[in-house]
Amino acid sequence: MNDKRLLACAGLCKGKKAVDVGTDHGHLAAYLITSGICESCIACDVNKKPLSSAAETVRRQGLEDRVKLVLSDGLDEIKPDGITDIVIAGMGGELIADILSRAEWVKTNKVNIVLQPMTKWDYLRKWLYDNGFEVTKEIPCEDGRFVYSVMQAVYIGKKPEYQCDTAYLYVGRVLVDSEDGRKYYLRQAQRLEAAGNGMTRSEDKASIGEEYIKTAQSLREIAIKCDKGDNMTTVNDIYGYIDELAPYSLQLDFDNSGMNVVFQVKEIKKALIALDITNEIISEAIRENAQLIITHHPVIFRGLKTLDDRCAAVKLCSAGICAISAHTNFDSAKMNTILCKKLGLEPKEPLAVENETPVGFVCDCEETTPTELAKRVKTALGNTVVRYNGFEDGKVIKRIAVCSGSGGSYLNEALSKKADCLITGDVKHDVFIDAHNAGICVIDGGHYHTENIFCEYMLGVLSEKFKDVEFKIAASNADILSYEI
């Protein structure tokens, strides 16, 4: 017998008497006897013609006394006496479930059940799970153009302990430690992704479709990683670690942090870190053969209605380079803590809270003046120049509000926290006027300089976590503005 599917089914049989349901030519029944796996076998089919073919196989091998031929719709005409194994192969998952549902005796005899669905494997796995059958083993089997799964199941009278999620429904308990296993994962990921893409076109199924696509990506990544070894790092690995450091659930509603440009199964060997993605940084990534750029600001911030070749995200796609951003989630989790440390300040309380997410900090400090504090900001952040309203140094500063990036809109929060100064960036003229009239100092350290500290931090933590990836701050990571002539 050369049929790989049937050989895999035979390998999971372990008793004395088997039933081959839908026997076709009787090859499996004959093999179970001649190979010594079973002592006797029942070969049944719903149609007379396959039984005639099976009878010829049995006669040719001289097995008439050990293989019984029965005309039966599934297991309907099969008596359970002494049966240890049931094999149902080459049928759709729905039909297999229907056959089992009509044979109550399979639940009482602890029969070893071997199943090989051609289609609707997800339906069959769900039916088995819901009806108290545990799948104890699955073997992947490549036969021709297809990769099948052969399942071994037993009735336990309750739902199994493993999770019946989308991934299970598509790959079941197949292990990915073989070539056939990896191929099975990749084929099933392809099917799952296609189903998900179809669902996303329907408003009421869009969320399910997105889950399918995400699961497909995970299955594909598992297969690729097992093929190349556990040391392979993918964009999902790096994204997941950043999510641990600065949970993406913290990002504000307007933000678009996360995986902005993704090639799921690409191995990451080199990654550039920058505040923003510019043409110069993309060119550097191409020259450096970097597979990933990690930035604070998302390369896709607002919705794209046109894909133009001047667009940075389009250039990244063309070059096959991934992009991950960590924006307002990083601001809330890390950025302002790092900024305060850089300025020699100790955070005392949040400057504001939006959507249960902290924004900035308020710090107490030793008594100083606007000019001295502005000098400290300039030196600590490496500014060419800082802007501030100094009150001719007649103001004493003992309490400071800090908000990286563009935090001028938090002036009122700074006032309500009794701050004497607000250190931020991108301050508008009207905010300076309001601050002057309210008697509070505002120091504008620039958007770039108050947030470029992101790069050094990410370089440190990512290099420590992923030893097999070369991380470096992009040489072309720079403030694109000039402040002197």
Residue-wise pLDDT for 325-337, tens only, equals: 999 999 999 999 9
Out of 164, 191, 207, pick the residue that ends a domain: 164
pLDDT in tens, 179-229: 899 899 999 999 999 999 999 888 888 889 999 998 998 898 888 777 665
Expressed in angstroms, the distance from the first to the final Cα of the chain is 85
8-state DSSP, 157:
S
pLDDT at position 393, please? 65
Share of the chain above pLDDT 70, in %: 98
In this structure, is residue 169 part of a structural domain?
Answer: no
In this structure, is residue 103 part of a structural domain?
Answer: yes
**Residue 127 and residue 12 share a domain:** yes
Out of 139, 164, 189, pick the residue that ends a domain: 164
What 3-state class would DSSP assign to 310?
A: coil
**Residue 183 and residue 130 share a domain:** no
8-state DSSP, 421:
E
**Residue 279 and residue 375 share a domain:** no
Stretch 360-365: mean pLDDT, rounded? 96
- The contacts of residue 479 (CB under 8 Å, 6+ apart) are 446, 448, 449, 452
Phi first, then psi: what are they for 400, rounded to 5°? -125, 135
pLDDT at position 356, please? 81
In this structure, is residue 400 part of a structural domain?
Answer: yes
Range of the domain at 222: 175-228
- CATH number reported for the structural domain that contains residue 400 in this entry: 3.40.1390.30
Rounded to whole angstroms, the Cα distance separating 189 from 185 reads: 6
Which pair of tokens denotes residue 408? 């001028």
**Residue 91 and residue 13 share a domain:** yes
**Residue 220 and residue 247 share a domain:** no
Q: Cα separations (Å) of 271 from 20, 278, 321, 325, 472?
A: 55, 15, 10, 13, 7
**Residue 210 and residue 103 share a domain:** no
Rounded to whole angstroms, the Cα distance separating 310 from 307 reads: 9
- Max distance between CA atoms of the chain, in angstroms, equals 111
In this structure, is residue 240 part of a structural domain?
Answer: yes
**Residue 283 and residue 208 share a domain:** no
E-only strand ranges, 277-406: 292-295, 322-325, 346-354, 357-368, 387-388, 397-406
**Residue 198 and residue 248 share a domain:** no
In this structure, is residue 322 part of a structural domain?
Answer: yes
Question: Directed axis angle between helix 121-130 and helix 93-101, to 10°?
Answer: 30
In this structure, is residue 386 part of a structural domain?
Answer: yes
Q: Report whether pLDDT(344) > 90.
A: yes
H or E element, residue 115 = strand 112-119
In this structure, is residue 331 part of a structural domain?
Answer: no
Share of the chain above pLDDT 90, in %: 79
**Residue 206 and residue 253 share a domain:** no
Place of tokens 């194994």: 85
Cβ 40 vs Cβ 66: under 8 Å: yes
**Residue 153 and residue 33 share a domain:** yes
> How many domains are there within the chain?
4
pLDDT in tens, 151-187: 999 999 999 989 999 999 999 999 888 889 989 999 9
In this structure, is residue 320 part of a structural domain?
Answer: yes
- CATH number reported for the structural domain that contains residue 117 in this entry: 3.40.50.150
**Residue 156 and residue 52 share a domain:** yes
Stretch 369-394: mean pLDDT, rounded? 92
**Residue 479 and residue 458 share a domain:** yes
Q: Report whether pLDDT(128) > 70.
A: yes
Place of tokens 């008793």: 15
